[in-house]
Amino acid sequence: MKNKFLLALLLMLTTQMYCQTSKINEVNTFVLRNSGAILDKNKDVDGYYFFYMMDKLKKGKREFAIQLLDKNLVEVAKKTYIDDKNTFLMKSSFNNQGMMFAMANFSKEKITLLSYDKQANLTGTHEIPLESKEIKYYQLQQASGDFNVLFPVEDKGFIFNKLEDNKKIGYSLKYYPTDGGKAWTYSSPEKSKEILSINPIEVNKDVVVALEFSRPNLLSRKVTITTIVIDVNTGKLLFEREYSKSNNPRLITNAFLNNDNSVVFMGEYFKNGDNIFDDRSLGLFTEIIDFSGKTIKENLITWKDDVAKLMKVKEVSKIKDKGYIYFHDIVRTNTNEYYAIGEYYKKTISAGGTALAVLGAMGGGVGNVGATNLTITDAVIFKFDSEFQLKSIKEFDKGKSKAPSYDFGSPQLSAHTMSALGYFDYEYTQIDKQNDRFYACFIDYERLKGEKNKSAFKTIIYDEGELTEDKIYLSNKDKTFKVLPGKVGNVLLVEYDKKKKEINLHLEKLNIK
Amino acid sequence: MHFTNQPHEALYYQKFIIIFLLFNCFFCYSQKRNFDYSPRNNDSIESYIKAISQKKIQKFQGRHQKEITQIIEERRVDFLKSIKDSTYIFDKKINSYLNSILRQIYISNPQIDKKDFYFFINKSPIPNAACYGNGIFTINLGLFNIIESDDELAFIICHEIAHYILEHNDKSLLGYVETYNSKENKKKINKASNNRYGRRQAVSALVKDLSYNFLRRSRTAETQADSLGFVLLSKTKFNKSAGIKALKKLDMSNEIFFATDTQIRKHFDFETYPFKEVWLNKDETLFDLKEKADDFALDKDSLKTHPDMPIRVKELEKFYSTENAISPSLDLKEIKNIVAERSIDIFIDISRIDLALYQVLTLHNNNQIEETAYCNTVVDILKKTYDLKSSHRFGKYVSPVSPFSDEKYLNEVRTFLHNIELKNIRKIGLQFCMKYEKQMAQNPDFIKTTAFFYKLNP
């Protein structure tokens, strides 16, 4: 999901009733540095933040304001913060006990963590110095999308994901408790010859589940994924499980913690020797591992046999007339059914791109840059029972969209790259644990015969065992709309009135038909 | 926002609450009627507003004429636009009642130069009245909900006329223009604005200072208008203690508005589809706060446009300390009836269905609404909620619940309306229709809405 909140609202201090002259107005027009939704791991919105530069102070300092809106768009706090001029709000997080903000200043080589309690009082600051190499990697990781730099542990604390300038680049997870518990740091080996990074994906009151990615160099596609489970109270490693190219290569899409001290990993599996980013998978898997690292159960769903019973599988992982499936997320319901959410894609030749490539080659250029597209079509959802047996596959019509693609070789690798760059139509999946629902959101480029093409925000909703759709068109005669994540079951509509030149923000419930 | 564009807000005090006071309304809501939002004599109103604006411009000959002319012109255009936007209602009965009060004030105070006066009725439910300083006065519909006697309304009108006589608007306008054009202030503004460092802080301090001076003047003006208003009222046969009573009531407003339990569960609990408590679930908040934590806010007390009510009451009590029991006239009873009756329609028209539902439920609980009107209004509200939610427009019209709001029972209604989903509304609508189907068998509106909900529940 593109976690960017594309609003550039310049708010004035509303209490200043008499700022009449243009000079005073000018001074009070504050510059919005960045803004965003405060999301939890289920993509439920806890609130929204806006980060403004308010005032220029001496010695390169600036006065900033962190404005916070609750999940219903009510402004609940506007806090002052003074720091160096290049500071930006990197990430904000809420854990029910308080908030934490990661304020980054790469020119001063530091990240400052600010903690606020439930009364909106600043309760602590943690300054984390950075090396220049670490900054470079932070910038690269941020550009690549969903990078969990700050992860909330509900009712317990926050985990900060720090990159480390070791022999090669490494990481450390720094835990800051908010419940009076003990702080800890879990670090990768300093002398590792591989580039190591980590992404926490699931947490409860006992453990943190994270995926460690290891590669020899930055551009290498030889990636080893290690699942790591850490005791959240002590920071001690409970177990790790490696999936390498030669040993059970697996692409993990999601993980779920069970109440019986076990964790379920889900994703696609490959044959030994295959590259998880380049090659076609053999199918989907679930693997349940207990906290000692022992596999309790494993289920495999093959394209060849299992999926082929329900769809025309042309060749391994390729569906007839449709192409490949890119799985964005796998959701587990409260009844332990699983739903894998994906989109069809195929590599297509771009006419314009071919011409450019020919011209490029004639001019001494190399290769077929820009000659291919990734064509994205319908959404597809695989339903599995609690034993991970494939029960049904449902397709949802969606207009064709094309992502400009460099030719990376395999369609799979192109798809991974396009996904990281946000070129798929998939936006995000929000999970409503309380009502046992999920909302998988896409952009749909509708192409109807005899009508002008229309874009819509399309949501596939799971409720009471059924999958239904809701749709919000993104423009009409007078207005354009942007749809952003909202509190669970809702979206935030940013409505722009073209005639009145007005922006109206309102939350709307997604409708279960 | 221009300070002088804000009319003096007599008897309305800062907190922006939309209110309904229903506990003293002895009326019965019967059938739907619509207010007229367009004046029959639109051309003559336009000419009148043009004439009074010209007159005001001519009054300010000399220094700062350009700025003042611009402000007056902007106000003229804004006011005409607000008429076109259906901000005002034109109702014979309300106007006739208002004129009867005005006549008595004018007869007893022949010195009042009333030839430019025009009283507009604003459809706003906020209890408020305003003097624009050019002869235009506005009385909000919400004011009729809280006054209990002709005397109280007479005091409020006298207070507004006092603002006109004392030329508070003109003084305020001139004060504003002179303040911002004074050499000293220009110098201060320039200095603060040109600060290389700490500009916002310097400008904030300056704004605070200037605001304080304006507001101090405004507070003085309110006290003066109370005094002169009291003098004008004293000459009439209206009860003099009405001013004290009106002020005290307004002071209590925050505690009494929306203090009536709508008993929402009772209205939407059906044998085959019981009320679900989750419909009233509140959202978790980021902070546990009673008010916004704002490091940039100016001192709120120093920014009140009106002095505290107890101080104003104390000042009035110097003139008249007895508080007599006053009962509403028959005319006022009828007006209050009309206002309460038609407010529901106004709210539905502007899609403020939270306010409409709050009012219809409380009226029903107090047996102040006919069963037919209650049934039709509730199903209308449910249908409108369904339509708005289907087209993803509900949140545009119905405010979210603020964690700082003390409008407990209105918030309960809002929470209910926000939380119910299409599938719930389909069932609630049908169950409600089925419950009243027999007794509404002859009502074509109800039959039509019932058919709508039957269709949604195949």
Three-state DSSP state, A24: helix
Chain-chain contact of B422 with A512 (C-beta, under 8 angstroms) = yes
Nearest to B287 among A16, A56, A77 (CB): A77
Q: What percent of the residues of chain A are helix, what percent strand, and what percent coil, each to the nearest 5?
A: 10, 55, 40
Chain-chain contact of B392 with A493 (C-beta, under 8 angstroms) = yes
- The C-alpha of B169 sits at a distance from chain A's nearest C-alpha, in angstroms, of 16
Is any Cβ of chain B less than 8 angstroms from the Cβ of A56?
Answer: yes
Contacts of B295 in chain A (CB under 8 A): 65, 78-80
Chain-chain contact of B396 with A28 (C-beta, under 8 angstroms) = no
Q: What is the DSSP string of A398-464?
A: ---EEEEE---SSHHHHHHHHHHTT-SSEEEEEEETTTTEEEEEEEEEE--TTS--EEEEEEEEEET
Torsion angles phi and psi, residue B145, rounded to 5: -75, -25
Window 108-137 of A: residues touching B by CB (8 A cutoff) are 116, 118-120
Condensed to tens digits (0 to 9), the pLDDT of residues B17-54 reads: 333 333 333 333 444 456 788 888 888 999 999 999 99
Nearest CA in chain B to A38: B286
Contacts of B175 in chain A (CB under 8 A): none
Nearest to A76 among B176, B296, B403 (CB): B403
pLDDT number for residue A352:
57
Chain-chain contact of B287 with A120 (C-beta, under 8 angstroms) = yes
Nearest to A56 among B192, B199, B423 (CB): B199
- The C-alpha of B289 sits at a distance from chain A's nearest C-alpha, in angstroms, of 6
User: Cα B400 from chain centroid?
Assistant: 19
Contacts of A513 in chain B (CB under 8 A): 422
Nearest to B193 among A27, A65, A487 (CB): A27
Are A229 and A239 in contact by the 8 Å Cβ rule? The answer is yes
Nearest CA in chain B to A74: B402
pLDDT number for residue A363:
47
Mutate to test the interface with B, among A58, A72, A474, A482 (most CBs of B within 10 A): A72
Closest CA to A92 of A155, A140, A148, A25: A148
Is any Cβ of chain B less than 8 angstroms from the Cβ of A440?
Answer: no
- The C-alpha of B290 sits at a distance from chain A's nearest C-alpha, in angstroms, of 9
- The C-alpha of B437 sits at a distance from chain A's nearest C-alpha, in angstroms, of 26
| ipTM entry | 0.86
Condensed to tens digits (0 to 9), the pLDDT of residues A48-73 reads: 999 999 999 998 899 999 999 999 99
Chain-chain contact of B292 with A78 (C-beta, under 8 angstroms) = yes
Chain-chain contact of B193 with A26 (C-beta, under 8 angstroms) = yes
Condensed to tens digits (0 to 9), the pLDDT of residues B108-135 reads: 999 999 999 999 999 988 888 999 999 9
Chain-chain contact of B402 with A71 (C-beta, under 8 angstroms) = no
Condensed to tens digits (0 to 9), the pLDDT of residues B295-325 reads: 988 765 555 555 577 788 888 888 776 656 5
Nearest to B283 among A17, A30, A487 (CB): A487
Contacts of B395 in chain A (CB under 8 A): 490, 493, 506-509
- The C-alpha of A247 sits at a distance from chain B's nearest C-alpha, in angstroms, of 45
pLDDT number for residue B17:
31
Contacts of A57 in chain B (CB under 8 A): 197-198
pLDDT number for residue B2:
26
Chain-chain contact of B211 with A17 (C-beta, under 8 angstroms) = yes
User: Cα B276 from chain centroid?
Assistant: 34
Contacts of A94 in chain B (CB under 8 A): 286
Cα separation, B302 vs B307, in Å, equals 10
pLDDT number for residue A223:
85
pLDDT (tens, 9 = 90+) of chain A, 513 residues, equals 333 333 333 233 222 222 234 455 555 667 888 889 999 888 999 999 999 999 999 988 999 999 999 999 999 999 999 999 999 999 999 999 999 999 999 999 999 999 999 999 999 999 999 999 999 988 887 776 656 799 999 999 999 999 999 989 999 999 999 999 999 999 999 999 999 999 998 999 999 999 999 999 887 878 888 999 999 999 999 999 998 888 889 999 888 999 888 999 999 999 999 988 889 999 999 999 999 899 999 999 999 999 999 988 887 778 888 899 999 999 999 999 999 999 999 888 766 555 555 555 444 444 444 567 889 999 999 999 999 999 999 999 999 998 876 666 678 878 887 887 788 999 999 999 999 999 999 999 988 777 888 899 999 999 999 999 999 999 988 899 999 999 999 999 999 998 888 888 999 999 998
Is any Cβ of chain B less than 8 angstroms from the Cβ of A22?
Answer: no
- The C-alpha of A238 sits at a distance from chain B's nearest C-alpha, in angstroms, of 33
Instruction: Give the A:B interface size as CB pairs under 8 Å.
Output: 154
pLDDT number for residue B228:
94
Contacts of A19 in chain B (CB under 8 A): 203, 207
pLDDT number for residue B180:
79
- The C-alpha of A492 sits at a distance from chain B's nearest C-alpha, in angstroms, of 9
Chain-chain contact of A506 with B395 (C-beta, under 8 angstroms) = yes
- Average pLDDT score, chain B: 85
Closest CA to B248 of B310, B157, B295: B310
Nearest to A23 among B193, B283, B298 (CB): B193
Rounded to 5°, the CA angle A432-A435-A440 comes to 40
Cα separation, A413 vs B229, in Å, equals 81
Chain-chain contact of B395 with A493 (C-beta, under 8 angstroms) = yes
Window 482-511 of A: residues touching B by CB (8 A cutoff) are 487, 490, 493, 495, 504, 506-509, 511
Is any Cβ of chain B less than 8 angstroms from the Cβ of A25?
Answer: no
